Structure 1
Amino acid sequence: NPNFTPQQNEEVYEECSRGHGHNYIVEVTVKGNADPQTGMVMDLKKLNRLIKQEIYTYCDHKNLNQDVTFLEGVIPTAENLSTVFWKVLAPKIKDANLYRVRVCESQKNVAEYYGDVLN
């Protein structure tokens, strides 16, 4: 957090207060009624292309604190990333309703965002 002293960052974020990387897993879930002709709520290939285009293109192998314009001023925790990714993707998903964005930092550290609804 740029508003914290180095000591405060160390106390709050521990080892994550220093520069490091993650191999995030991002899961996006949509909901809606399946099309009777296709049996699909949405073409998942289309959804995957959208995720690659809008998220991975900008975030993969990047310093999230410095290199990603839409993350400027955002502390890149899994919680914040899931929220920002939702805001990026939701207006672009036309064929279904965005239900959940899940960001896995590790097997034990996971954050899910469901829009403005608290679950």
Structure 2
Amino acid sequence: MVINITDIKQFIKEAVMDVLDHKNIDKDVPYFKDKVSTTENLAIFVWQQLRELVPSRLQLFVKIHETDKNSV
């Protein structure tokens, strides 16, 4: 299944950027009030946020690169 890149950009803007950009994740994002803000938990959060917007017929993968050698 394919999806328009413009739609993907809008999903990311709504689900991730508008929620996290220029925020103190531990204090300003309700999801992290009771969770440690590890990269693993951030990946779970991003996946859950996007899953609400991306059509369910599409598979969804989230990969966050911490360094050149480390990713979640």
After TM superposition, the score normalised by the length of structure 1 is 0.53
Aligned residues between the structures: 72
Instruction: Tell me by how many angstroms 1:94 deviates.
Output: 1.5
Higher percent of residues as helix: 2
Task: After TM superposition, list the pairs within 5 Å mapping 1:89-100 onto structure 2.
Answer: 89-94=50-55, 96-100=57-61
RMSD of equivalent CA atoms: 1.8
Q: Which moved more, 1:67-76 or 1:46-55?
A: 67-76
Instruction: Tell me, yes or no, if the aligned pair for 1:102 and 1:110 is still in contact at 8 Å.
Output: yes
Instruction: Tell me by how many angstroms 1:80 deviates.
Output: 1.0
Match of 2:27 in 1: 66
- Work out which of the two has the higher radius of gyration on C-alpha atoms and give 1 or 2: 1
Runs of 4+ in 1 over 4 A off after TM superposition: none
Supply the AA of the counterpart residue of 1:87. Q
Match of 2:70 in 1: 109
Q: Which consecutive residues of structure 2, in runs of 5 or more, have no partner in the other structure?
A: none
Supply the AA of the counterpart residue of 1:47. I
Report sequence identity in percent: 26
Instruction: Tell me by how many angstroms 1:95 deviates.
Output: 7.1
After TM superposition, the score normalised by the length of structure 2 is 0.81
Q: Deviations over 1:17-42 (max 9, x none)?
A: xxxxxxxxxxxxxxx3xxxxxxxx00
